[in-house]
Amino acid sequence: MNRLSPAETAAIDLIHQQPMLAQVEDWAAINSGTRNLAGMAAIAANLADAFSALPGQIDMVEAEPAESVGSDGIVSPLDHGRHLHLTVRPDAPVQMLFTGHMDTVYPIDHPFQKLTFRDDGTVNGPGVADMKGGLSLMLAALKAVEASPLRERIGYEVVINSDEETGSFSSANLLARSARGKLAALTYEPALPDGTLAGARGGTGNFSIVVRGRSAHAGRNPEEGRNAIVAAADIALRLAAARGPRLAVNPARIEGGGPNNVVPDLAILRVNFRPATLDEITRARAHIDSAVAMVAAEHDVQIEVHGGFNRPPKPIDAGAAKLFELVKSSGADLGLDIAWKHSGGVCDGNNIAACGVPVVDTMGARGGAIHSADEFLIIDSLTERAALSALTIMRIAERGLS
């Protein structure tokens, strides 16, 4: 380690005393698939207890309304767990935001439920990298900051939401409110196994397009029917034609239909867009509107479009570049070579950047194979990345992003 002040050295020494691995074991043992509301309540209670070690006010915020389009084309409310929100020293001169998520992609009936410690210094388990390891090291870093002489200079909010893995629809407004007035933000998605961070990110939009036609006998009077499956397929082809170097389009599924001798009167097209820029969102929306209007007229069907672009693209602007450079220089003083690269994935960092707040969103543990039964956490990276966070936060508290 190089060029560390006595206060920074003391903070890092404190991090090595934190029970991060034990917390990861405890939290990963609780199934917190987004739709497992009992599991979400259990993990939320555990996190609230752990984060109560920090000063400030913890609130469990009710999820805002969200909806889902079923395979029958009916729109239904979608329940989520509560979100953890902590506020510390809101009047301090420097204000930051720290975010993470408590949900995972593994539902209660998924076979991947147990932890396995491996000889290579990793632990395999559900959510260990994404992101229960990140939550543990975030807490360790903030504890170290609270024990430092710089603590009175920095105030912050912590948001740990319950629906990040499904798009943060019920927590988007909480994230936006918490981002207001912040100098910078850190989000604790996992870094790559070699420590590389995500830099710029594209955006994403998910749509469920419900097509209602008219049923008829497929042999006796098919001309009286209006085939919803054919119309949905036509929309899919028209939308796919909009793809380009800066806009990925993925018609992912068509649901509906029935017996072979019946003209189907219902189809639901699920489609994902990945725009690289805000201009591409505008272009995609125009293409959706055009495709829907043309298909409705040509096939004589009724069409409803549900969904939207819930995560805007996240470019590296001047503020984000300064924050990345500060993380890089802090890493260098810890003997870490910090690099970043463009990512096709999305996260709450997209939402935060859209609020005009510089954010580094992969400050979590090093790990890999996330969203699969091979997910792993590199155990030594817990203290390594907690130290990186603590040093970054203390330097922002001391001198901002200059």
Domain with residue 17: its CATH number is 3.40.630.10
Is 71 found in the same domain as 176? Answer: yes
Regarding whether 263 and 168 lie in a shared domain, the answer is no
Phi, psi of 324 (to 5 degrees): -60, -40
Domain extent at residue 281: 204-311
Closest by CA position to 134, among listed 182, 85, 179, 197: 197
> CA 268, CA 27: separation in Å to the nearest integer?
37
**337 part of a folded domain:** yes
CB-CB contact of 174 with 66 (8 Å):
no
Angle at 176 between CA 136 and CA 191, to 5 degrees: 35
Query: Three-state DSSP class for 355?
Result: coil
**pLDDT attached to residue 378:** 98
Domain co-membership, 64 together with 126: yes
Same domain, 70 and 159: yes
Q: Counting beta carbons within 10 angstroms of the beta carbon of residue 34, is it exposed (0 to 12), middle (13 to 18) or buried (19 or more)?
A: buried
Query: What local confidence, expressed as pLDDT, does residue 68 receive?
Result: 96
- Among the candidates 277, 311, 345, a domain finishes at 311
Q: Are residues 297 and 244 located together in one domain of the fold?
A: yes
Quote the pTM value: 0.96
Q: Is residue 96 part of a domain?
A: yes
CATH number, domain containing residue 255: 3.30.70.360
Give the per-residue pLDDT at 402.
77
Does residue 47 sit in the same domain as residue 168? yes
Q: Half-sphere exposure (CA, 13 Å, Cβ side) for 359?
A: 32
Q: How many CA atoms lie within 13 A of 369 on its CB side?
A: 13
One-letter amino acid of 394: M
Our separate counts of H helices and E strands in the chain read 10, 18
Under the phi-then-psi rule, with left for phi > 0, alpha for psi from -120 to 50, and beta for the rest, what region is 26? alpha
Tell me the backbone φ, ψ of residue 173, rounded to 5 degrees.
-70, -35
How far apart are alpha carbons 357 and 372 in whole angstroms? 31
* Domain assignment of residue 1, yes or no: no
Which residue ranges of the chain lie beneath pLDDT 70? 1-2
**Residue whose structure tokens are 């998605």:** 189
Q: Over the stretch 118-135, which tens digit does the pLDDT of each residue have?
A: 999 999 999 999 999 999
For residue 40, CA distances in Å to 27, 44, 113, 162, 349 come to: 11, 6, 15, 7, 22
Based on the fold, state whether residues 188 and 327 are members of the same structural domain: yes
**Same domain flag for 378 and 246:** no
In a domain, 255, yes or no: yes
Say yes or no: 169 and 51 in one domain.
Answer: yes
* 141 & 11 share domain: yes
Secondary structure (3-state) at 255? strand
Number of domains forming the structure of the chain = 2
Q: What is the pLDDT of residue 2?
A: 60
Please give the pLDDT value at position 3.
86
Residue 308 φ then ψ, to 5°: 175, -175
Domain for residue 324, yes or no?
yes
How many CB atoms are located within 10 Å of the residue 253 CB?
Answer: 13
Final residue of a domain: which of 265, 282, 311? 311
Question: Do 294 and 219 reside in the same domain of the chain?
Answer: yes
Same-domain pairing of 161 and 42: yes
Domain boundary, last residue among 311, 339, 365: 311
Whether 253 is covered by a domain: the verdict is yes
**Are 187 and 348 contacting, i.e. CB atoms less than 8 angstroms apart?**
yes
